[in-house]
Amino acid sequence: MTATLIDGKAIAAKVRAEVAEGVERLVAERGIRPGLAAVLVGDNPASHTYVRMKRKACAEVGIESFGFELPATASQHEVESLVRDLNARDDVHGILVQLPLPAGLDEEAVLSAVGLNKDVDGFHPMNMGRLAQKGREPLFVPATPAGCIRLLEETGVKLSGANAVVLGRSNIVGMPVALLLVRQDATVTICHSRTKNLPDVVRSADVLIAAVGRAQMVKGDWIKPGAVVIDVGTNRVDDPSAKSGSRLVGDVDFDQAVGVAGAITPVPGGVGPMTIAMLLQNTLRAAQNSA
Ligand code: NDP
């Protein structure tokens, strides 16, 4: 069997086009242009790159973006004051605080300072709590997990009653994606570094979400024939044949899995492009809600 490729680039382009259309309508009908404020503390080069990519993506769909940089030495009070100032601004509909924050800052307190209606990253403890509660609706869902669900929807995967296995239990990917799958009536198993007999657990999955951060850990014979595989992992490995000397691979051994799975996301070009697209969608929604 050769798995169908789930084309994250194409699906993300579709989401971005939907957002661009929504932005245009909001500007035309209500005179509101969505605005996203990106708060960057310290000088982590990867964080700078992510913020730059997010701001560029905003510009492409007509969302205004505002960048705020604080030094790594910024105090808790300074970071929270900036967030509170942004909560009060009418031209800022969404606030993203780029994580990780430098050591010494209380991440939970900073995320809690973001106004619930501007929490476009979906990391506010209240939004996360609502995600976990039956009958409650979070205002926003974190972008990467939301992107995984959209990929499954676009692939036409029936989640109700499916056995889903999530590898990883982080706050930003594993746990929220597991909660979203439960909301879609899947039967969910969450695995982590202490899980026993991992290959056997993975073999029970009709739907597998891998968010571990270990290059090509999931082997082809771990996968149930015909399963749908969403690979969130982005791991850089040496590759002397590549110009840069390295390349990106997922948490799944793609070359093996593609012969067993029914459908699979590539890395790169799977979940990655969805993350920014879903952030843009959340920002548009925040602006629509403000109207
Ligand atoms: P974290 O490091 O926060 O979490 C990793 C999770 O994997 C933990 O729950 C950990 O278990 C579990 N884990 C680690 N080793 C093993 C193992 N050997 N067996 C089973 N479980 C294990 O990572 P993130 O959730 O932030 O990210 C996961 C991956 O997704 C990374 O590669 C990251 O780069 C990528 N990513 C990609 C994004 C995208 O847009 N494409 C966005 C965000 C992340 P325990 O809890 O026990 O420690």
- Regarding whether 199 and 246 lie in a shared domain, the answer is yes
pLDDT given for residue 204 in this prediction: 98
Q: Which domain holds residue 55?
A: 30-116
Q: Has 98 been annotated as catalytic?
A: yes
**CB contact at 8 A, 177 and 169:** no
Task: Compute the distance from residue 89 Cα to the ligand 1 centre, in Å.
Answer: 35
pLDDT given for residue 92 in this prediction: 98
Is 136 part of a structural domain of the chain? Answer: no
- Regarding whether 93 and 175 lie in a shared domain, the answer is no
Give the number of domains in the chain: 2
Tens of pLDDT, residues 35-58: 999 999 999 999 999 999 999 999
Dihedral angle sign, alpha carbons of residues 48, 50, 55, 60: positive
62 CB neighbour count, 10 Å cutoff: 18
First to last CA, the chain: 50
The CA distances from residue 117 to 1, 18, 169, 273, 291, in Å, are: 46, 21, 26, 25, 12
CATH assignment of the domain containing 221 = 3.40.50.720
What average pLDDT is seen over the chain?
Answer: 97
CATH assignment of the domain containing 64 = 3.40.50.10860
CA atoms within 13 A on the CB side of 203: 7
- Regarding whether 264 and 159 lie in a shared domain, the answer is yes
Query: Which residue has tokens 């979070």?
Result: 138
Fill in the DSSP letter of residue 99.
S
pLDDT bin (cut points 50, 70, 90) of residue 188 is: very high
pLDDT given for residue 59 in this prediction: 98
pLDDT bin (cut points 50, 70, 90) of residue 158 is: very high
154 CB neighbour count, 10 Å cutoff: 16
Residue bearing the CA closest to ligand 1, atom 15: 193
pLDDT given for residue 159 in this prediction: 98
What residues contact 213, with CB distance under 8 A and at least 6 apart?
Answer: 168, 233, 235, 251
Q: Is 212 in the pocket of ligand 1 (CB under 6 A)?
A: yes
Q: Can you tell me the mean pLDDT for 263-291?
A: 97
The percent of residues in the chain predicted with pLDDT above 90, rounded, is: 99
pLDDT bin (cut points 50, 70, 90) of residue 1 is: low
Q: Has 121 been annotated as catalytic?
A: yes
Q: Has 54 been annotated as catalytic?
A: yes
Rounded to an integer, what distance in angstroms lies between the CA atom of residue 40 and that of residue 47?
A: 7
With a cut of 70, say whether residue 178 has pLDDT above it.
yes
Catalytic residue among 121, 206, 231, 251: 121
pLDDT given for residue 22 in this prediction: 98
Fill in the DSSP letter of residue 218.
B
Query: Which residue has tokens 């695995």?
Result: 191
Q: Can you tell me the mean pLDDT for 273-277?
A: 97
Could you identify the atom of ligand 1 that is nearest to the CA of residue 275? Answer: 40
With a cut of 90, say whether residue 257 has pLDDT above it.
yes
Task: Retrieve residue 78's tokens.
Answer: 């300074």
